[in-house]
Amino acid sequence: MNQSVQSIKILSVVGARPNFIKIAPIARTIEEHNSKDCIPTINHLIVHTGQHYDDMMSSRFFEDLELPKPHVNLDVGSATHAVQTAKIMERFEPILLKEQPDVLLIVGDVNSTVACTLVASKIQYNGTAKRLRPIIGHIEAGLRSFDRDMPEEINRILTDALSDLLFITEESARINLEREGIPYEKIHFVGNVMIDTLIKHLEKASTLNTLASIGLKREKLSKGYGVITLHRPSNVDTETTLSSLVKCIENIAKELPLIFSLHPRTRVNLKRFGIYDDLAKNSRIYLTEPLGYLEFLNLLSSATMVLTDSGGIQEETTFLQVPCITLRSNTERPVTVSIGTNYLVGVNPDKILETAFSILNKREKRGTVPPLWDGKAGKRILEILINYLENGGNYSKS
């Protein structure tokens, strides 16, 4: 029988731009819950690890998403995977011991995710705490690329193995987790918090004119425009691969103006390999700094096509029904390919160009929105957390 819980302390961790998008619906749902004087009352703290420290990659997103300012910023900055993970763990442990939250919510698959999970799984609160350690809830659990050369894949596997509650976005994630020995009772299909955020902000984003700020006039775009993002080391850290992708971009730009939002890592490597100047001189390619969430959503929602190696953009374009060409040989979000608008093409130039020109010739596939991508994932997660605590920490789904 459920026991009434009067108050809950939840600590959420964010470290990189996608994390902010994913935690925003949780923060909003908690604020709505507390505004109605519901029991239990919820004390929500946000810890920013500082894994992304550029203003456009961090604080600007807090403003766009109407997120409360983080209560703590660990300021770890950029470093190797080992050094960054170690710094996060070292700086996060005292915060966890001080705050002693009932629940630790971690999202996605960045170094902050696995580092804070490792700390929480081993910590021991003092004798006055309600429990020995926090309940660990992983939002966006179970996604697998099956490519262990991706650092994110290692982070996903370790985080899921140590989490108490696993919140999934698509049914493939359930299959992956059960194959890895995770009990069925721990897994909860809640939908997609990224889509919660998109739905919340789509109308506001539609009022912007990002094209004009970039220097494009919509009335002169007979075929529309394309959007490009690249940031994965496998695509941008090797001169041969990056040069090949740039040549594809230049070929597509002959038919479709392209807006290339440059990740700092990508900009540095374009210059290092001597590719940047020619790209910047191309009148059909518009290079921009990393855009704010609303500006980018404004571009994304009306694009003719998107070329990317981002996981989250595969999901956003599927919801928006915008053709997405994913420049990777694998994806941890297969539902975007099986029923969505995503094309998984790798980095083969012929395949990239064939897919792009097929879309331009109006031969793109028709996608549908995956189940439970309805803007209510944050509410489902909070309901499950409250029910879990009121059931004394068992996995009953009744």
Q: What is the rounded distance in angstroms from the CA atom of residue 358 to the CA atom of residue 228?
A: 17
Q: What is the rounded distance in angstroms from the CA atom of residue 26 to the CA atom of residue 193?
A: 8
pTM (2 d.p.): 0.94
Catalytic residue among 33, 138, 231, 263: 231
One-letter identity of residue 73: N
Segment-wise mean pLDDT, segments of 10 residues, the chain, 398 residues: 81 92 96 94 95 63 85 90 95 96 96 97 85 95 95 97 98 98 97 98 96 85 94 95 97 97 95 96 95 95 97 97 97 97 97 97 91 98 96 65
Any idea which fold 201-360 has? Rossmann fold (3.40.50)
Q: What is the rounded distance in angstroms from the CA atom of residue 231 to the CA atom of residue 242?
A: 10
pLDDT of 2 reads: 59
Q: 160 near 174, Cβ under 8 Å?
A: no
Task: Write the CA distances from 376 to 28, 82, 136, 164, 373, integer angstroms.
Answer: 11, 36, 21, 21, 8
Q: What is the rounded distance in angstroms from the CA atom of residue 143 to the CA atom of residue 173?
A: 5
263 is catalytic: no
pLDDT of 253 reads: 97
Q: 230 near 309, Cβ under 8 Å?
A: yes
Task: Indicate the Cα dihedral angle 187, 383, 70, 85, nearest 10°.
Answer: -10
Q: 159 near 114, Cβ under 8 Å?
A: yes
Task: Write the CA distances from 75 to 16, 66, 78, 358, integer angstroms.
Answer: 12, 21, 9, 45
Using DSSP's 3-state secondary structure scheme, residue 43 falls into strand
pLDDT of 32 reads: 96
pLDDT of 396 reads: 56
Q: What is the rounded distance in angstroms from the CA atom of residue 243 to the CA atom of residue 11?
A: 43
Residue listed under structure tokens 């505004």: 35
- What CATH number is given for 7-191+376-390 in this structure? 3.40.50.2000
Q: Which pairing describes strands 258-261 and 187-189: parallel, antiparallel, or unpaired?
A: unpaired
Residues spanned by CATH 3.40.50.2000 within the chain?
7-191+376-390, 201-360
Q: What is the rounded distance in angstroms from the CA atom of residue 397 to the CA atom of residue 31?
A: 24
Q: What is the rounded distance in angstroms from the CA atom of residue 15 to the CA atom of residue 88?
A: 10
